[in-house]
Structure 1
Amino acid sequence: MEVEYDNIGIAATYRMTATYFKISADVLAKDFISNKIRISGNRKAIPYYYMISHALELLLKCALLKRNFPKSKLKNSTLRHNLIGLLDELKNFGIPITEDTYNTIQIISDQHKKHRLRYDFLFDDGLLTFTPEPNSLNSTYDELLLTGAISTFGK
């Protein structure tokens, strides 16, 4: 028997899954740092960036679902894996987003949507893979984590 979950149940699952991805990314980052290996610009660190990128997608979807955004729209091809599209939908609810977070999401959105962090980053196809400093992504993660709290900004 298949169980139908409501938006709040799905949002909670997305938030927890995002947390697991972030914890795993942090473990990987700590290993790089303890071995004095640079993370930003390092192809070996792509799994770190994939985990953070996926965590951000889950947090955006969580925040939207908490605001009763139709879960069916999240599977729409224009929003599916589209970080900037999801962020713009969240902004339509009047949720303030810092310029730093918006810029970070805007830069990583295309590579996330096209699954470059999963499949294509090792191919020399002339496209750059954006690998910002972890502190930038951590700030973005922290900000988006707060947007999943329904009481945030009274919305």
Structure 2
Amino acid sequence: MNRARVQGWLFAGSFALALLLQLMPLPLALAPLKPYWIGLVLIYWAIEMPERVGLGFAFLFGMAGDVMTGELLGEQALRLVVLAFIVLRFRARLRFFPMGQQTLAVLALLLNDRIVMLMVRGFSGEAMPPATFWLAPLTGMLAWPFVYLLFDDLRARLRASE
């Protein structure tokens, strides 16, 4: 199998895995701690392969996430478009940050995502979420180094296997 095909499978498989992880049920006490897996995977691929991840891709992937999770149609699509826009805009800087700074940048991106989510849900008439609403970006920040290093290692193994 050629490299482009395997890399395509890795790309598609990572997004499928992110959707499955987003659907994974957690106990009620741990549910607020679930990271936004879809956003983390989108951030990684937007940094590493911006030619494949654009605003249109983010929108379509967000619509798929909305349909799968049963959320307000278009909410995740809007959130992912905003996330992708910011990452693509600052990609040159993000890519060369040390892991510590990159992790803090991901925290800022995930907090921005929560603010966009809060605005959308506020406009749709939902009540203010509890304070635990803000814990998911922190766990996403803690998961980021593992997500980044996992995908980076898989891509390096693909390059080495040629």
TM-score by length of 1: 0.33
Specify which structure has the higher proportion of helix: 2
Q: Which has the higher contact order (CA 8 A, sep 6+)?
A: 1
